[in-house]
Structure 1
Amino acid sequence: MASHRLFRFPKPQWLNSANTRTAGVYLAGALFSLGFFFFIDASAFSSSPRNGSSVHITFVDWIPGICSALGMLVINSIDKSRLAADSFSYSGNGVAWKARLVLFLGFALMAGGLAGSVTVMVLKYVVPEYPWPTLWFGVANVVANACIMLR
């Protein structure tokens, strides 16, 4: 008899534990807050007189983080039961593909945020060959978006 599993290997039992779920929630919150901490730290340092550089974090640097945060919000707003199968009781036909489309858009926002942060870092900080304290502004942006995406 054919199984309806996606992967050949069974899921470990410890993944179904309430303690594992609680640890995952705390880890996700820590990654999210750590990511924004890095970026806000770089933003505060860029406006500091101790910066020693004429380069500052502007709104262009914030756009990838905004995209990643919106993507995370979209992904977390999807009800997992809507992804499994089509149900005719909730807003007509094709609920599963609508939920999958919205989920894809959320992942696309997060991937676009990460790609945008790498682009901003390369174009604004790496190509002009700024030294390390200034280069940290771009690295912090990439680290923040990576933490939000890993979240």
Structure 2
Amino acid sequence: MSENRLFRFRRPQWMNSANARAAGVYSAGALFSLGFFFFIDAAAYSRSAKNGSDVHVNFVDWIPGICSALGMLVINSIDKSRLTGDSFSYSGNGVAWKARLVLFMGFALMAGGLAGSVTVMVLKYLVPDYGFPTLWFGVANVLANSMIMLSSAVLWVAQNMEDEYTYNLAL
């Protein structure tokens, strides 16, 4: 085993294919859409007459999802090669630390969205001790933000996979 490797085990070769990359992108999209489907379903159900309670999903419930979606947008818009700062073209003008700062702000937005959804669930639905049809609104919010965070991680890995068809041109 060479000394310059980070992990003990090698990554399987099938993870470097174009099909694995496409599957990762599609599964990230499926997780993202499934997460927002759960939340929009809970929001629509909260306004129906079958709900049976006076509690509804309002703008406070939407704020964590907006923060998580913005964090996902920020994180996945950064190129992984900009983070290293090892090449001469990026290290001279300080792009690496700016990219790391923006990446940190994206992760902070996503973590704040997940923490905000847990806080909304606890303060709005658990503390007043509502039953489960009403409690589902908070659970769906936490589930949606968790799936957005997971889809961001899957998309980050899938977008930054090296495949055999990627060309690195240097002048």
Corresponding residue SS for 1:6: coil
Partner of 2:54: 54
Preserved CA contact (<8 Å) 2:82 2:90: no
Q: CA deviation at 1:5?
A: 2.9
Identity %: 81
Preserved CA contact (<8 Å) 1:86 1:95: no
The amino acid of 2:48's aligned partner reads: S
Partner of 1:21: 21
Q: CA deviation at 1:92?
A: 5.5
Q: CA deviation at 1:137?
A: 0.3
Q: CA deviation at 1:6?
A: 2.5
Partner of 1:76: 76
TM-score by length of 1: 0.92
Cα RMSD of the aligned pairs, angstroms, is: 1.8
Q: CA deviation at 1:89?
A: 4.0
TM-score by length of 2: 0.82
Partner of 2:147: 147
Please give the alpha-carbon distance, in whole angstroms, between the structure 2 residues aligned to 1:36 and 1:10. 35
Q: Which has the higher contact order (CA 8 A, sep 6+)?
A: 2
1:16/1:81 CA distance change after superposition, 3 Å: same
Please give the alpha-carbon distance, in whole angstroms, between the structure 2 residues aligned to 1:143 and 1:101. 27
Report the count of equivalent residues.
151
Preserved CA contact (<8 Å) 2:35 2:144: yes
Q: CA deviation at 1:88?
A: 5.5
Partner of 2:122: 122
Preserved CA contact (<8 Å) 2:51 2:133: yes
The amino acid of 2:56's aligned partner reads: H
Please give the alpha-carbon distance, in whole angstroms, between the structure 1 residues aligned to 2:84 and 2:90. 13
